[in-house]
Structure 1
Amino acid sequence: MFHRDLSSFLALCLIWGTTWIGITIGIERVPAVMFAGTRFTAAGILLIVILSCRDGLQLPDRQSGVRLAIVSVLSITLCYGPMFWGMNHVSSGTAAVLEMSMTPVALLCFAIGLREEAWSAARFAAVAIGVVGLSILFLPDTVSAGEEGTSWLPILGAAAVTWAAISSAFGSILARPLMAAQSSAYIAAWTNLIGGLVLVLGSLIFEEGAAASLTEIWEWEAFAAWAYLVVFGSLIGYTIYMRLIRDVGSRAGSFAFVSPVIAVTIGVVFNSETVTILDICGMILMLGAAYFSMRGSDGVTLEGPAPQSATKISSET
C-alpha cells in the first residue's frame, strides 16, 4: 500500500508541477475562467465515457447527489473562479504563497474538524515548515507586492486566492465519505463535469469575451495547452488526487510543497531561469515538509483512516 501511495503521490506532484505551463499559455490567449471551465467539463465527460464503457453509465443517486454537487462547486467552481480573479490583482509570488500554503493547512484543519483524522502536532509542524519554505522561495515577489499602494484590490485579490485554497480543501475532505461507495475515478469524473459546467456558466455571465471564445478557433498553442490540462491535469491528475484523499487523507495536500519545486526546476532547465541559495533553502524545507507530512510520528508511513460508511453519507447530505 505504501509503495502504491508513494508512486501516486510522486506522479501527482510531477503532473501538477508541469500544469503551470499549460495554464500560463492558455490564459494568455483565452479568457481564464472559460479556459478552466471547458477543461474540467471535457475531462469530466471523457472520464464518464471511459467508466461507462467499462461499467455502464451510473448516475449519482439522490442521497449522495447533493453532497457530490456541493463537493464539485467547492472543489472546482469556487476554487478556480476566485483564484483567477485574485491572481489579476496580486503578484504571482503572493498568489503562490497563499494558495500553496493554505491548501495543506486547510486540508488538515478540515480533516480534524470533521473527525476524519486525529490531531497531530508532528503533522502541523511539518506543514508549518513547508509554509516557511514556500515563503522563502517566493519571498522576493511577495515583498515587491507590498509596494502596490493602498488600493483595496490587492487585499481583495489575496483574500480571493486564500478562499480558493480553503474552498478546494473543504470540498476535498467532504468528498472522502463518498468514496466509501464509489471509486475515486467516479467521484473525479462527476466533480470535474459539474464544477466545470458551473464555471462555464459563470464565465458566460461575468467574463468578458467568454461567449466569443466558444465560437473562435483557438491558437494551436492554447489548444495544445488545453488538451494537456484536460488529459493530464484533470482526467489523470485529479483522479490520482481523489484516490490519495481517500487513502491518505489530508496528507495528499503535501503535493503543494513538491509541485512548486518541480515547476521551478523546469523553469531552470527549459527556460534558463535562475535560482539563488535562498531559493534552494526554501525548496529543501518544502521537500522535507512533504516527506515528514507523509509519514507517521513513528517513522512509518500511515494510511489515512477508512472513509465513512455509505449509511453515514446519506445522513449527512
Structure 2
Amino acid sequence: MISDTKTRAYLAWAAICLIWGTTYLAIRIGVEDLPPLLFAGFRWFLAGPILFLILMKKGYRLPDRGDIKHSAVVGILLLGFGNGFVVFSEQWIPSGLAALLITTVPFWIVGIESFYVRGSNLNAKIIIGLIAGMSGVMLIFGSNIISVFDPHYIKGVAGLFVAVTCWSFGTIYSKYNSTKVHPLMSAAVQMTIAGTLMTLAGIIIGEYKSLSLTAESALAFFYLLIVGSLIGYGSYIYAIEHLPVSFVSTYAYINPVIAIFLGWLVLDEVINLELFLSASIILSGVYLVKKGSSEARMKLNRAEN
C-alpha cells in the first residue's frame, strides 16, 4: 500500500505536470510588457515571504544556518538561473518552442545523477523511456523544430541551454543535500533569496525604466505568483524530496501536451490523431522511466544490504 507521503508526492508531481504546462504561455504574455529580471524576480520575491508566513502560522520549524545555505544554492540554480533564463529566452522564442527545448531536462538530470551518485546507474527501461518521451514531444512540435536553428532564436536557445543545465544541477543538489526543515520551508527560503537577488539585479541594470504594466501582463504575473510559484514550485520541491528525480523530471514531457490542450481550449487549435499518438508515446515514456527508476532503486538497496 502506498503511504500518505508517497500519495501526496505523486499528487504533487501531477500538479507540476498540469501547472507548469500553463506557465510558458503566461511567461510569454508577461515578457511582452515586463522586463525579464524584474518580472521573474519580483514574482519569487513576493512568493517566498508569503509561503514563509503561511508555514510560520502553521508552526513549521525555522531553518538554521546550514538549511539556509543549502536552500540558497538550490534557489539560485533553480529559480535564479533556471527559471530566470526561461523568462529571458521567451523574449525571442515562442512558448511552445521553449517547452520543447525544456524537455531535455530529464536527459541532463539522469545523466548528472549517474555520475554524482555512486550506484545510481541507468538501465534499459529508463533510457528507452527517456527516448520515447522525447520522441513524442518531437512528433508534436516536429513542424517547428527547424526554428531552433533560426538566427532570430539564437539568444533564446542559448538562454534555455543555461536554464536546463542549471535546473538539472539544482535538482540533483537539492535531492542529495536535503535540509532538516520541511521541503516547503526550504522552498520559501529559495524563493526569497533568488527573488531578492534577481530583483536587485534588475534594478541595478535599469530594467525599471522599461516597466509597462497592462491588464494582460498583470494577470500573467499574478497567475505565475500564485499558481506557478506558490503551488507549482512548492509541489516540485516536495516531489523531489520523496520521489526519484528521474521520475519527477518526466513532468517536462507532459508540459507540452498541456500546452497543446490549452491551445485547443483557448485558441480553438485543432487536436488531431498526431496529438493523441504523441500523448500515448509520452505517457508510455513516463511509465518506463518510473518502472526503471523503481528497479534501479531496488537493485541499489539489495547491493547495500
Residue equivalent to 1:130: 133
SS in 2 for 1:138: helix
Residue equivalent to 2:21: 17
| Structure 1 residues 112 and 145: alpha-carbon distance in aligned structure 2, compared to 1, 3 A threshold | closer
Deviation at 1:160, TM superposition (A): 2.0
Residue equivalent to 2:216: 221
Residue equivalent to 2:230: 235
Q: Distance in 2 between matches of 1:289 and 1:117?
A: 23
Letter matched to residue 214 of structure 2: E
Among 274, 277, 285, the alignment partner of 1:281 is: 277
Segments of structure 2 that go 5 or more residues without pairing to the other structure are none
Residue equivalent to 2:46: 42
| Structure 1 residues 155 and 26: alpha-carbon distance in aligned structure 2, compared to 1, 3 A threshold | closer
8 Å CA contact retained: 1:97, 1:138: yes
Residue equivalent to 2:62: 58
User: Are 2:19 and 1:5 equivalent residues in the alignment?
Assistant: no
8 Å CA contact retained: 1:178, 1:187: no
SS in 1 for 2:249: helix
Residue equivalent to 1:249: 244
Letter matched to residue 237 of structure 2: M
Letter matched to residue 25 of structure 1: I
SS in 1 for 2:8: helix
Residue equivalent to 1:72: 75
Q: What's the CA shift string for 1:97-137, capped at 9, x where partnerless? A: 222x2211122122222217721321122111111112221
8 Å CA contact retained: 1:86, 1:161: yes
User: Are 2:274 and 1:272 equivalent residues in the alignment?
Assistant: no
| Structure 1 residues 68 and 144: alpha-carbon distance in aligned structure 2, compared to 1, 3 A threshold | closer
Deviation at 1:238, TM superposition (A): 0.8
- Identity across aligned pairs (percent)? 25
Letter matched to residue 47 of structure 1: L
Residue equivalent to 2:115: 113
8 Å CA contact retained: 2:78, 2:171: yes
Residue equivalent to 1:314: none
Q: Distance in 2 between matches of 1:6 and 1:302?
A: 17
> Please, which moves more after superposition, 84-93 or 250-259?
84-93
Q: Distance in 2 between matches of 1:29 and 1:210?
A: 12
Q: What's the CA shift string for 1:56-95, capped at 9, x where partnerless? A: 672441x343332221111111113333333344455543
Deviation at 1:291, TM superposition (A): 2.4
| Structure 1 residues 295 and 39: alpha-carbon distance in aligned structure 2, compared to 1, 3 A threshold | same
> Please, which moves more after superposition, 283-292 or 42-51?
283-292
> Please, which moves more after superposition, 81-90 or 244-253?
81-90
Q: Distance in 2 between matches of 1:23 and 1:256?
A: 16
Q: What's the CA shift string for 1:207-264, capped at 9, x where partnerless? A: x643553xx7x33332232222112111111111111101113111111111221121
8 Å CA contact retained: 1:82, 1:161: yes
TM-score by length of 1: 0.82
Query: How much is the aligned-residue C-alpha RMSD, in angstroms?
Result: 2.9
Q: Distance in 2 between matches of 1:3 and 1:265?
A: 26
Residue equivalent to 1:157: 156
| Structure 1 residues 92 and 16: alpha-carbon distance in aligned structure 2, compared to 1, 3 A threshold | closer
| Structure 1 residues 20 and 128: alpha-carbon distance in aligned structure 2, compared to 1, 3 A threshold | same
8 Å CA contact retained: 1:184, 1:242: yes
| Structure 1 residues 160 and 222: alpha-carbon distance in aligned structure 2, compared to 1, 3 A threshold | closer
Trace 1:84-95 onto structure 2 (pairs within 5 A).
Answer: 84-90=87-93, 92-95=95-98
| Structure 1 residues 278 and 143: alpha-carbon distance in aligned structure 2, compared to 1, 3 A threshold | farther
SS in 2 for 1:29: coil
Q: Distance in 2 between matches of 1:41 and 1:180?
A: 21
Q: Distance in 1 between matches of 2:255 and 2:132?
A: 16
8 Å CA contact retained: 1:96, 1:138: no
